[in-house]
Structure 1
Amino acid sequence: MRVRTLAVALTSVILLSACQKSVVRSDGYSIAMADLTGGVSVSDMQAHMAAGKYTSADLTQAALDQIKAKDGDLHSIISVNPDALTQAKASDAARKAGKALGPLMGIPVLIKDNIETADPIATTAGSLALKDNITHRDAPVVANLRNGGAIILAKTNLSEWANIRSSRAVSGWSATGGLTANAHDHARTACGSSSGSGAAVAARLAPLAVGTETDGSVTCPSSMEGLVGLKPTVGLVSRTYVVPISHSQDTPGPMGHSVADVAAMLGVMAGRDPADTATGEADAHKLDYTAKLAGFSLKGVRIGILRDQVGKDVKTTAVFEAALKSLAGAGAVLVDIKDSSVSDIGDDEMNIMMYELKADLNTYLASTPATVKTQTLADIIAFNTANAAQEMPYFGQELFERAQLTTGLNDPVYLKAVGAKARAAARLDDLLKANSVSVLVAPTYGPAWMSDTVNGDQYNGPSATQLPAVSGYPHLTVPMGTVQGLPVGLSFIGPKWSEARLLQVGYAYERARTAKK
């Protein structure tokens, strides 16, 4: 159905709900729904609520209606928060009383289901082993979102255990949530592991979502769903009460339809958490990312092109070259970089993840309620074996089994592998300095491949995720176009704590690309 704009809705016959002042047309189509499905920005939603055109309860109900109507085909949502409307009504009461609750006041936000919330719903990481993991704890990143005014709408599906159980996994599949479909083509991958977060926002079930990334799990689904997604510097956003893979690389990140929306979200999510030592410097680097966007120009900004990350897909390359023309047309100075490689980084990254997975997951599981019977990685492996028909219908758990064989974080194999983090960071720093550039660009990924439960993921084309993932540096992806109707993203990579600059450059590119349409 064609999206009907706010202007059309306002000219239609409307009814006013006495209890919520909801603006609803005579055919039952609400302005809140029109905003949600019509690509209205978060700042505009805020303005409309402030003007009394609709309430947070209206917007939240519209999102719940979208989930009910659309998610049967997407499988992007694992559980809906039964308290979402209550929270929205409390936000409306606060607004009516003149209380400002933050930049996301009244906005429904989706949370990936490996992040705990205090709501009466489980945090499953997609696994049936955690179906009773109702902790009644807010991860600090969720607490920050609430403090910023957000309404916690639902928990999203994901690649089970954030795609670390098997190298032959199917991205977007979990035993709890099924196979997440790409919102643009349901036969194709939503990519992992924040597949549900990406698909749900792309389908406009909600305006914003939180994903998590160890290597590609925010940026890949964002790229393949036509979204903006940011993997922050590791340590800018807390990981406490997030089901872990690797303390060296894990981080939550914001996902939305525009750079401005993601900037607003990051400003709320970021901050120091005493329980997560990696965030010790977060408050010193946290900024008003939204304010930094205004007035920024690409004129004279030097941007390095990672030519060896472009890949061989001619259609994606053509879209990428068009993106480079948009950057140059907006005044950026483009510098070709032919080699960004780092030796042995892939093998070392896998060793880091295997050793840290066992240590970090065991620590997390030990903190779960007594209702959770799987308290160690060994317990999870045994559970999967005992419940293989439900848990392993398509792929196994050889990475879990490999991780279980590791012997601790003092093992020389692990200590050697950890050196990859410093090598990756040094390589990125050197690329930036040697070429006198402030940002690096490359295609994020190619277009979405077909979902295949027999052969697993069919990764093809370019991927810009590994260097920023291993180094812990920030990585922003912004839509750059489509390949036969399938979205592809443009990656912006910068030094540690450079989120503000990446968002500025991404915002300027977004405007330059939109102006060409």
Structure 2
Amino acid sequence: MRLIVEKMISLFVFYRPALFPLSQKGFLTFRPEDLHNTNDLMKGGVPMNDLLEAGIRTLQKALAGGFTTSRELTLAYLERIAAHDKRGAGLNAISELNPDALHIADALDRERLIRGPRSPLHGIPVLIKDNIATADQMHTSAGSLALADSYAGRDAFVVQQLRSAGAIILGKTNMTEWANFISTAMPNGYSSRGGQVRNPYGPGRFDTGGSSSGSGAAIAAGFAAAAVGTETSGSILNPSANHSLVGIKPTLGLVSRTGIIPIATSQDTAGPMALFVEDAAILLGALTGVDSEDPATGASAGRSYTDYTPFLDKSGLRGARIGVVRTFADDVMTDDQRPLFEAVLRILQEQGAILVENIRIPSEQETWDSSVLYYEFKSGVNAYLSRLPASFSIRTLGDIIEWNKENADAALRYGQDILEKADQTGGSLTEAEYLDSRLRDLRQSRTEGLDAAFDQHQLDCLLFPHDFGADIAAKAGYPSISLPAGYEPSGNPFGIMFTGRAYSEPLLIRIGYSFEQASLLRVPPQLQG
């Protein structure tokens, strides 16, 4: 059936009069592996449910061939959300939908007809996490009831980039409240505003991961073509692994932080979450750019790309020196996960990778703490709140804490001990404890950590089971990519993570794509209801 659908799309695009030229970069190239299950619902000869499980290039090919429109795609995603998100024991992945989504789709369909597509994201519905500001009719709340009525005064920089690329921002995804920085008792995927996100591979059974939980569940369930998550330490990589997705946590500064409700300026970044490496690469290219309001992005000049698809290389593993880090996972990986990881190693070797076993990161046994996050959180949140429209009364972290206390029944199901601890800091980042911790994090994660391992063994990247090791890469500000790596006997997804040096996203994409194409391990969840 997949080959039949491929021929139908390819022949139609080849023989019909083109309404606009195909991209010189060939972004409409069809890949049969982009399509999965079929059913009887047909749109112009192509199963719509297959399109909702397809990659972005395939969606563009369907749009180019007249098999569907951006409006029809948007409606199809909305229908799937209506069927599986809030109804009954739904996934609860979406916090809010964009009331203008269909109008935007209509406008982009018209623009495609007149001028052609702006980019590979033209007319493609995407979701963004609920801590990313949009100056539209949607709220930006970080999952907090205290901010449930908060409208941002302007778009986050990454939202500006998405709109410029022609993406349709379909809505915002639920998340672990305050990006998992409110309470030590709060489970992954819960927010007082949105409730509990459920993993479509096993609702109520399997962990959604956090804090980009809704982004993970939504894309796994086919609620949009891709999503933007955010990460301070594992918040893209963990839910990507738990939902059998590709997630890229970029180098700190590759993607602007402006307009994103923060935890820590030294670690925060947005990044793509998608079904396929190619989709993540397309989305990453749309997000990058030097932002005059975010000093960290200045270091990316000349080292970032607006198009990462040239790095998609099926032979990318050949000759790659990959360090296998087991020590992070020895006490964490389960008996069901160990054979999956060993199978990954065999695939890597079969594709020509050079595996350097039993790598130890020199600093891994050192004392680590989260002091930096507590200090930077108060400073960053106060700065974000200060920029909200003057009509919004909550202006400080202290205001958030007091509002929560006054509305404790709804807002504090799991408490707020992290918020209260963070509020006890001075907010000026001058404390000796903060400075000592920040300098120690840099030293232990970089010079005495990842850099030492890379240099000692002449490695291209490090390999970790699932997302174990995300913390040290986050403290270093170095990039990682999460990839589907199979399923436990229970059906619980298992992932792997490659970590590289700063601005090594092209290398990680090349290696990740090569592994993905050699393994093709991802299987869509069977949605209930």
On whether the aligned pair clears a TM of 0.5, the verdict is yes
Query: Partner amino acid for 2:461?
Result: V
Q: How does 1:45-64 map to 2 (within 5 A)?
A: 45-64=59-78
Unaligned runs of 5+ residues in structure 1 are 12-24, 446-462
Structure 1 position 65, deviation (Å): 1.0
Give the equivalent residue in structure 2 for 1:35: 50
Give the equivalent residue in structure 2 for 1:278: 296
Q: How does 1:115-134 map to 2 (within 5 A)?
A: 115-134=132-151
Q: Does 1:322 align with 2:339?
A: no
**Aligned partner (choices 371, 389, 405) of residue 369 of structure 1:** 389
> Judging changes above 3 Å, is the alpha-carbon distance between structure 1 residues 375 and 136 closer, same or farther for their aligned structure 2 residues?
closer
Structure 1 position 289, deviation (Å): 1.0
Using the TM superposition, name which of 297-306 and 310-319 deviates more: 310-319
> Judging changes above 3 Å, is the alpha-carbon distance between structure 1 residues 315 and 341 closer, same or farther for their aligned structure 2 residues?
farther
Give the equivalent residue in structure 1 for 2:202: 185
CA contact (8 A) 1:474 1:498 kept: yes
Query: Partner amino acid for 2:133?
Result: E
Query: Partner amino acid for 1:7?
Result: V
Query: Partner amino acid for 2:240?
Result: S
Q: Deviations over 1:322-371 (max 9, x none)?
A: 001000000000001342252686643x1000000000100001111234
Q: How does 1:352-363 map to 2 (within 5 A)?
A: 352-363=372-383
> Judging changes above 3 Å, is the alpha-carbon distance between structure 1 residues 54 and 340 closer, same or farther for their aligned structure 2 residues?
same
CA contact (8 A) 2:119 2:166 kept: yes
CA contact (8 A) 1:429 1:495 kept: yes
Q: Deviations over 1:276-307 (max 9, x none)?
A: 10100223111221012145432211100002
Distance 1:341 1:389 in 2: 46
CA contact (8 A) 1:36 1:62 kept: no
TM-score (norm 1): 0.89
Distance 2:200 2:521 in 1: 25
Give the equivalent residue in structure 2 for 1:437: 459
Distance 1:121 1:274 in 2: 25
Give the equivalent residue in structure 1 for 2:22: none
Distance 1:476 1:356 in 2: 25
Unaligned runs of 5+ residues in structure 2 are 10-37, 524-529
CA contact (8 A) 2:41 2:48 kept: no
CA contact (8 A) 2:312 2:513 kept: yes
Q: Deviations over 1:46-66 (max 9, x none)?
A: 011011111111111111111
Q: Does 1:309 align with 2:324?
A: no
Structure 1 position 310, deviation (Å): 2.8
Give the equivalent residue in structure 2 for 1:145: 162
> Judging changes above 3 Å, is the alpha-carbon distance between structure 1 residues 504 and 473 closer, same or farther for their aligned structure 2 residues?
same
Distance 2:3 2:96 in 1: 30
Give the equivalent residue in structure 2 for 1:413: 433
Query: Partner amino acid for 1:133?
Result: S
Distance 2:178 2:4 in 1: 40
TM-score (norm 2): 0.87
CA contact (8 A) 2:144 2:178 kept: yes
Structure 1 position 9, deviation (Å): 12
SS at match of 1:337: coil
Distance 1:367 1:78 in 2: 23
CA contact (8 A) 1:301 1:331 kept: yes
Distance 2:254 2:270 in 1: 9
Q: Deviations over 1:189-246 (max 9, x none)?
A: 2111000000000011111000000001000000000000010001000010100000
Q: Deviations over 1:454-497 (max 9, x none)?
A: xxxxxxxxx22111111010010000111121111110000000
Structure 1 position 108, deviation (Å): 0.3
Percent same amino acid at aligned positions? 41
Distance 2:4 2:131 in 1: 35
Q: How does 1:364-403 map to 2 (within 5 A)?
A: 364-393=384-413, 395-403=414-422
Distance 1:256 1:202 in 2: 8
CA contact (8 A) 1:33 1:63 kept: no
